A = this chain, B = another copy of it.
Amino acid sequence: MDVKTLCLGVLSMGDASGYEIKKVFEDSFSHFYVAGFGSIYPALAELTRLGHVTCSNIEQEKRPAKKVYHLTDAGLQAFRQTLSGTHPHHRVRSDFMVLVVFAHLLPPQRVEQILATRLEDIERQLKLIDHCVSENGQSAPGTAFAAGFARTVLLAGRDYIEAQRGELLKALREKS
């Protein structure tokens, strides 16, 4: 699953500019996919070349002109095709977990800070999800399921850290 495919997905929910697509990535997809301008703009150019999207230049007053992209039938078909052939991977790459595993090589104070930072990040993501859910009144059924899934998993992680942080720090302080 690449950025091109995700852009098709965003555009299947309505026309948008590259800048607006980036915002959807940040606001709604950030808990399972991250992408910056450096990958989105080239992806949109390539999709235009392939005929999966069309592009209109929209002049604006008191604002820079923007390029609004629109999903074509061929694009929607290609998106469906890609979804059909995609295995439901779910990969985590967590520096947080690495830091925790090797916590005994760090000052306990630093470990405390790592846990606190992780909790803050979780809280931020929870707020993002709640905001999305309250804003998009009736969206696709999958969106609600995905939001609920993410919420549940984040809450479980938060509660675990809060419940076990004392134990971990005690063990680390005892060993040193």
A residues lining the B interface (CB < 8 Å)? 1, 5-6, 9, 12, 29, 31-34, 79-80, 83-84, 86-106, 110-111, 114, 117-118, 121, 140-143, 145-146, 148-150, 152-153, 155-157, 159-161, 164, 167-168, 171-172, 175
CB <8 Å contact, A102 and B148: no
Interface of A is mostly: helix
Residues of B within 8 A of A97 (CB): 31-33, 90, 146, 149-150
Tell me, in angstroms, the Cα distance from A121 to B145 when the chains sit together: 19
* Contacts A103-B140, A141-B172, A153-B160; A93 near B32 (Cβ below 8 A): yes
Residues of B within 8 A of A29 (CB): 101
CB <8 Å contact, B98 and A6: yes
Residues of B within 8 A of A79 (CB): 102, 105
Residues of B within 8 A of A171 (CB): 141
Residues of B within 8 A of A148 (CB): 160, 164
Tell me, in angstroms, the Cα distance from A98 to B156 when the chains sit together: 21
Tell me, in angstroms, the Cα distance from A106 to B155 when the chains sit together: 29
Q: Which residue of B33, B92, B95, B141 is within 8 Å of A31 (Cβ)?
A: B92
Residues of B within 8 A of A5 (CB): 98
Q: Which residue of B92, B98, B160, B167 is within 8 Å of A152 (Cβ)?
A: B160
New contact pairs (6) apart from A31-B92, A97-B146, A104-B140, CB-CB < 8 Å: A32-B94, A88-B95, A88-B96, A90-B118, A97-B149, A104-B142
Tell me, in angstroms, the Cα distance from A146 to B143 when the chains sit together: 29
Residues of B within 8 A of A32 (CB): 92-94, 96-98
A76 to chain B, nearest CB (A): 8
